[in-house]
Chain A
Amino acid sequence: MRAFWLLVTVPLVVAGYLAVRMSSERGELRHHEVQGLLDGRLADVRVRASQAFGAIERELDGALAEAPAGADELRALARRLPIARQVFRLDASGRLTFPVGGPEASRAELEFLERTASIWTGRAILAGDSASDAPSRSGEAQRRPTGEPAGPEDPQAPRARTGEDVTAGRVHSAAGVGDSLVDLAARKPHGWLTWYWAEGVHLLFWRRAPDRGVIGVELERIGVLSRIVGALPTSSLDEGRMELVDSRGQTVHQWGPLRGASSGPSSGDAELAAATLALDAPLDAWQLRYYISPRQRAALADELDLAPLFGIGALALALIGLAVYVYREYTRRLRDAAARVGFVTRVSHELRTPLTNIRLYAELLEDAALDDEDQSQRARVIVGESERLGRLIDNVLAFARHQKGALASRAQRVDVDAVVRDTVAKFGPALDARAIEVKLDLHAPPANANADAIDQIVGNLMSNVERYAANGGEVTVATRAVNGHVIVSVADCGPGVPARDRDTIFEPFKRSATALTDSRGTGIGLAIARELARASGGELALVDSDRGARFELTLPAYGGDLWTS
């Protein structure tokens, strides 16, 4: 039975292990796939932002194309551009010609000059050079947005940088040249300049002017943000939630069905974004974030993972189904057997009373017919047969007791040879009747066992000889001592046990196939015999033999290892 369960559980465990491994490997793979999917969705959104920003760039480029030099024209130009905060103008030598301080300047222009002073005074700033020769202004915010990868600059270095140069990685090579906006403009027609100030990232767009100077515009940060946000979706069919986060880590706009922790003003950090993507330079301080619930992530990951799990699940189900079927069949047969045993046990008890009477009266008859040899002989047969019937009933009852777990065996010193001799003697008449010659070869020392058990075991073996090996004409019953054990062997010259039945003959109700036609046995004799042998601390086995069947009963010798062969 244990083997059966092993047969079921081992494949299940193996299949389960494989499933888990496969699942975790696929999970890993799937994780990457999901990540790719999420990143892809963010990238789709980023395209919108980039297009909106591209439109701003084209607008500015067009509006600045004329590049007037007069203050009034430049002011009028700024008024025409909705997202312009301030227009500025450099001449060919890189000198700022507008706006300039003085009584002509408006408050906004003066503020612009103060705000951007570090750009106009330090040439090194544009090149992203070290902080040594850059003016450090106390009013300027030093912090970088969290989450933004540190740029090539020293964090203490000036915050201004030319977006494209930094991304192109030419910063350091350019640093030695002592770059300036006009120098930059000599190399390319327009570009962006970003720097951080109190409110976050600031953007300057500049363009090469026809007079080899530069015209530029500082953008209203909020205006740019608004244009970008306006290009983003307001709803999404995808699960989860996307957010645009500004350089201060503040959610600017969010959409998608997932209601998250960040619906409040300050709880945004409670969740971890499933994917993040910075906007293209120069807006790379702004990030797109994608939040999905763990359940949604799992659902995404499971979409394709179900196939192998289904396979393994089906295998497991099949195995379990088979196991259940086999187990039910097995228990059904056990129940049948138990029912048979119960019936036989009841019948056996019922049989005992009349059998005792038959035997009693047969013995009386035998005593009374002492002088009549014929009658005495017949009475003896009745007595022998009733004794045999008694043994059969004993067997059945012993088996029933065993089924109840009550096959107790009280071991004590037993003269094995005497018990064997008595038992064989009881079979004398029956064996004589079948012309079976009994050869006794008894050399056993006392064993530590139960005499009744030995009697029943040997009786069962002799009974088998009588029943199945009659045509052999001979049975040898021998005892000997081997390595502290007593061995009783019963060897007949009958047809023997077919090879295929050798394993099963000790099981209850398994009679050898050749015996199927023979209905005389109860089918429990050998099973009882072996159980009794084991209960006595011994063993009963069928051993190989040249001819016929040879059973050997091994019993512990009395006094144990005193005896050696």
Chain B
Amino acid sequence: MLARLSVITLFACAASPTIAQSAPRDLDISFDVEVGEPLMIAGQEQTAYIKITLGGFALPTAHRPPVNLALVLDRSGSMAGDKLEKAKQAALMVVDRLQPDDVLSVIAFDDRVDVLLPASRVTSRDALREKISAISPGGSTALFAGLTFGLEEIGKNRDAKRVNRIILLSDGQANVGPSSPNELGQLGEVAGRQGIAITTVGLGLGYNEDLMTQLAMRSDGNHAFAETGNDLARIFNGELGDVLSVVAQDVSIDIEFDNGVVPVRALGRDATINGRKATVQLSQLYAKQQKYVLFEVKVPPGAAGKKRALADVAVNYSNMINKTKGTKKSAVAVEFASTKVAVAKKQNKAVMEAAIEAIAADQSRQAVLLRDQGKIKEAQKVLVDNARYLQENAARYKSEKLDTYSKVNAHDATNLDSNEKWNATRKGMKAKDYQITNQQAYH
């Protein structure tokens, strides 16, 4: 009864679907639920794309939530030289940018783990600088154990009022302890459920991008590919920018689809679909950043002129600035029309763009899979088709973004032959795919 009432309320103020319930409007996240084609052709079953968008508000100056950050640094033998030096510089930069209120821990690992700095407030920077500078390379890569102790250190100060984050930097294949992308993905899941995001930075061409993206994806962290140590400072800066600007975390989106509307899949993001219900977890939302979830649904035929509700959506989150729990609800509906012209006129370009991009990212993933199996020709075909698909839609929606992505696909298609080029290309594709899928702010 209450639910239905709120839906009616929502419809009443359809012009402004965002309702702040627990915080002043200017310090609260934005929440939009849109559909790609609000007007659909009557009389046939169709596919619709629902986009649920969350937007972080601008962070009030000098008013950021304290962070609980763990730097987990690979110091295995392959890091020796420039890579490790650059990694240390990046870590030192992190130390400089933190405030006394922040908690930092630093863990270095090879085949052993050293907790260089147990979780503590950043007070004695000099001692910490010394410890970071003294990291020396050697040994193999106990990535699982390194991360575990990162989690352990984060766990000591984990609370909803802090931004909990692990930044993992590795240049290699995990080879001590659980090492498969699936197993590390599970660890990411465990971390994500505790509100700890793991951002993974892959350095050079030797790391396992599947493992690193799985870890980041399952914990809702970021993933970046640094071809050389020189990129690290930029990536850490971007990451820190994210970390220092978290405005909401423990974000949970619950969707209940209307009777008859069948959710087919969530594009990109991992969603749990139980019949007509679906749940998506996001661990963090950054200032001025948009994150969205796309659902592909089947809509049963409807009569022209009739309205049809598609889904009720609710979002629960912790507002990190005013330290309150927030809830927002919204709903989305379509109307049926008899002419294609009318449908086209009403199309929501942003939603369609995002949907096409996500579908293309999915195809690009397929291409990686095929290439991994050695099916170079097939992979090339998928990429070329993908580029064409993007190109067509770029023209239809006049989208520069899709056009660029199309060119990237076309370019990638030419880099599948040689193994050396493929290694770098694959990492680039994985990172790009990840950033599209997770709407990562920096690239």
Q: Is A93 interfacial (CB 8 A cutoff)?
A: no
Known A230-B151, A230-B152; contact A222-B112, beta-carbon cutoff 8 A: no
Q: Which B214-240 residues sit within 8 Å CB-CB of chain A?
A: none
Q: Is A109 interfacial (CB 8 A cutoff)?
A: yes
Q: Is B193 interfacial (CB 8 A cutoff)?
A: yes
Verify B145–A229 contact, CB threshold 8 A.
yes
**CB < 8 Å: which of B112, B114, B190, B281 contacts A254?**
B112
Query: Shortest Cβ distance from B102 into chain A, in angstroms?
Result: 22
Verify B114–A234 contact, CB threshold 8 A.
yes
Verify A255–B113 contact, CB threshold 8 A.
yes
Verify A234–B149 contact, CB threshold 8 A.
yes
Verify A254–B187 contact, CB threshold 8 A.
no
Verify B148–A226 contact, CB threshold 8 A.
yes
Q: Which B98-114 residues sit within 8 Å CB-CB of chain A?
A: 111-114
Q: How far is the CA of A108 from the CA of B190 in the complex (A)?
A: 15
Closest to B190 in A: A223
Binary B-proximity of A230-245 (CB < 8 A = 1, otherwise 0):
1000110000000000
Q: Is A199 interfacial (CB 8 A cutoff)?
A: yes
Q: Which A33-72 residues sit within 8 Å CB-CB of chain B?
A: 71-72
Q: How far is the CA of A8 from the CA of B148 in the complex (A)?
A: 66
Verify A252–B274 contact, CB threshold 8 A.
no
Q: Is B43 interfacial (CB 8 A cutoff)?
A: no
Q: Is A565 interfacial (CB 8 A cutoff)?
A: no
Verify B186–A71 contact, CB threshold 8 A.
no
Chain B residues lying within 8 Å of A79, measured Cβ to Cβ, are: 193, 252, 279, 281
Q: How far is the CA of A83 from the CA of B115 in the complex (A)?
A: 23
Verify B149–A230 contact, CB threshold 8 A.
yes
Verify A106–B178 contact, CB threshold 8 A.
no
Binary B-proximity of A99-124 (CB < 8 A = 1, otherwise 0):
00011111111000000000000000
Verify B140–A265 contact, CB threshold 8 A.
yes
Q: Is B403 interfacial (CB 8 A cutoff)?
A: no
Q: Which A233-272 residues sit within 8 Å CB-CB of chain B?
A: 234-235, 246, 250-255, 259, 263-265
Q: How far is the CA of A246 from the CA of B180 in the complex (A)?
A: 14
Q: Which A125-183 residues sit within 8 Å CB-CB of chain B?
A: none
Query: Shortest Cβ distance from B197 into chain A, in angstroms?
Result: 13
Q: How far is the CA of A104 from the CA of B281 in the complex (A)?
A: 19
Verify B275–A263 contact, CB threshold 8 A.
no
Q: Is A225 interfacial (CB 8 A cutoff)?
A: yes
Q: Is B85 interfacial (CB 8 A cutoff)?
A: no
Q: How far is the CA of A252 from the CA of B184 in the complex (A)?
A: 12
Q: Is B183 interfacial (CB 8 A cutoff)?
A: yes
Q: Is B6 interfacial (CB 8 A cutoff)?
A: no
Q: Is B343 interfacial (CB 8 A cutoff)?
A: no
Binary A-proximity of B80-124 (CB < 8 A = 1, otherwise 0):
000000000000000000000000000000011111000000000
Verify B279–A254 contact, CB threshold 8 A.
no
Q: Is A82 interfacial (CB 8 A cutoff)?
A: yes
Verify A106–B187 contact, CB threshold 8 A.
no
Q: How far is the CA of A106 from the CA of B277 in the complex (A)?
A: 9
Q: Is A221 interfacial (CB 8 A cutoff)?
A: yes
Verify A82–B194 contact, CB threshold 8 A.
yes
Q: Is B395 interfacial (CB 8 A cutoff)?
A: no
**CB < 8 Å: which of A82, A104, A222, A263 contacts B274?**
A104
Interface size class of A (residues with CB under 8 A): 35 or more
Chain A residues lying within 8 Å of B186, measured Cβ to Cβ, are: 220-223
**CB < 8 Å: which of A72, A104, A264 contacts B140?**
A264
Closest to B182 in A: A199
Verify B274–A253 contact, CB threshold 8 A.
no
Verify A235–B183 contact, CB threshold 8 A.
no
Q: Is B37 interfacial (CB 8 A cutoff)?
A: no
Known A230-B152, A264-B140; contact A222-B190, beta-carbon cutoff 8 A: yes
Known A222-B178, A226-B187; contact A106-B273, beta-carbon cutoff 8 A: yes
Q: How far is the CA of A108 from the CA of B274 in the complex (A)?
A: 10
Verify A263–B177 contact, CB threshold 8 A.
no
**CB < 8 Å: which of B147, B149, B189 contacts A220?**
B189
Q: How far is the CA of A263 from the CA of B112 in the complex (A)?
A: 9
Verify A254–B274 contact, CB threshold 8 A.
no
Q: Is A75 interfacial (CB 8 A cutoff)?
A: yes
Query: Shortest Cβ distance from B187 into chain A, in angstroms?
Result: 5
Q: How far is the CA of A250 from the CA of B149 in the complex (A)?
A: 19
Q: How far is the CA of A398 from the CA of B134 in the complex (A)?
A: 86
Verify B144–A252 contact, CB threshold 8 A.
yes
Binary A-proximity of B185-200 (CB < 8 A = 1, otherwise 0):
0110111011000000
Binary A-proximity of B273-302 (CB < 8 A = 1, otherwise 0):
111010101000000000000000000000
Known A229-B145, A253-B145, A255-B113; contact A106-B194, beta-carbon cutoff 8 A: no
Q: Is B175 interfacial (CB 8 A cutoff)?
A: yes
Chain A residues lying within 8 Å of B177, measured Cβ to Cβ, are: 229, 250-253
Q: How far is the CA of A255 from the CA of B112 in the complex (A)?
A: 6
Q: How far is the CA of A272 from the CA of B190 in the complex (A)?
A: 34
Verify B140–A226 contact, CB threshold 8 A.
no
Chain A residues lying within 8 Å of B193, measured Cβ to Cβ, are: 79, 81-82
Closest to B272 in A: A106
Known A79-B193, A223-B186, A252-B177; contact A234-B115, beta-carbon cutoff 8 A: yes
Q: How far is the CA of A259 from the CA of B151 in the complex (A)?
A: 25
Known A79-B193, A82-B193, A220-B190; contact A225-B178, beta-carbon cutoff 8 A: yes
Query: Shortest Cβ distance from A65 into chain B, in angstroms?
Result: 20
Verify A104–B112 contact, CB threshold 8 A.
no
Chain A residues lying within 8 Å of B155, measured Cβ to Cβ, are: 230
Chain A residues lying within 8 Å of B260, measured Cβ to Cβ, are: none
Chain A residues lying within 8 Å of B279, measured Cβ to Cβ, are: 75, 79
**CB < 8 Å: which of B113, B183, B252, B273 contacts A222?**
B183
Q: How far is the CA of A385 from the CA of B113 in the complex (A)?
A: 104
Q: How far is the CA of A253 from the CA of B178 in the complex (A)?
A: 10
Binary B-proximity of A262-284 (CB < 8 A = 1, otherwise 0):
01110000000000000000000
**CB < 8 Å: which of A221, A235, A263, A265 contacts B114?**
A235
Chain B residues lying within 8 Å of A229, measured Cβ to Cβ, are: 144-145, 148-149, 177
Known A230-B151, A263-B111, A265-B140; contact A104-B176, beta-carbon cutoff 8 A: no
Verify A253–B113 contact, CB threshold 8 A.
yes
Q: Which B152-186 residues sit within 8 Å CB-CB of chain A?
A: 152, 155, 175-178, 182-184, 186
Chain A residues lying within 8 Å of B305, measured Cβ to Cβ, are: none
Closest to A225 in B: B178
Chain B residues lying within 8 Å of A108, measured Cβ to Cβ, are: 272
Chain A residues lying within 8 Å of B176, measured Cβ to Cβ, are: 251-252, 254, 263, 265
Q: How far is the CA of A109 from the CA of B114 in the complex (A)?
A: 38
Chain B residues lying within 8 Å of A104, measured Cβ to Cβ, are: 274-275
Q: Is B139 interfacial (CB 8 A cutoff)?
A: yes
Verify B142–A253 contact, CB threshold 8 A.
yes
**CB < 8 Å: which of A105, A107, A226, A255 contacts B151?**
A226
Q: How far is the CA of A135 from the CA of B42 in the complex (A)?
A: 51
Q: How far is the CA of A225 from the CA of B193 in the complex (A)?
A: 16
Verify A263–B151 contact, CB threshold 8 A.
no
Chain A residues lying within 8 Å of B182, measured Cβ to Cβ, are: 199
Query: Shortest Cβ distance from A228 into chain B, in angstroms?
Result: 9
Closest to B174 in A: A265
Verify B148–A230 contact, CB threshold 8 A.
yes
Verify B175–A252 contact, CB threshold 8 A.
no
Chain A residues lying within 8 Å of B144, measured Cβ to Cβ, are: 222, 225-226, 229, 252-253
Listed A/B pairs (21) with beta-carbon separation below 8 Å: A75-B272, A79-B279, A82-B193, A83-B190, A104-B274, A105-B275, A106-B272, A220-B186, A223-B190, A225-B144, A226-B147, A229-B144, A229-B148, A230-B148, A230-B155, A234-B112, A234-B149, A246-B178, A253-B142, A254-B176, A265-B176
Closest 7 CB pairs of A and B: A104-B275, A230-B152, A223-B190, A265-B175, A222-B186, A82-B193, A253-B145
Residues of A within 8 A of B (CB): 71-72, 75, 79, 81-83, 102-109, 199, 220-223, 225-226, 229-230, 234-235, 246, 250-255, 259, 263-265
Question: Given known contacts A103-B275, A226-B151, A226-B187, what 14 new A-B pairs fall within 8 Å (CB)?
Answer: A79-B281, A82-B194, A105-B274, A106-B274, A222-B178, A223-B190, A225-B148, A234-B115, A251-B177, A255-B113, A263-B139, A263-B176, A264-B175, A265-B176
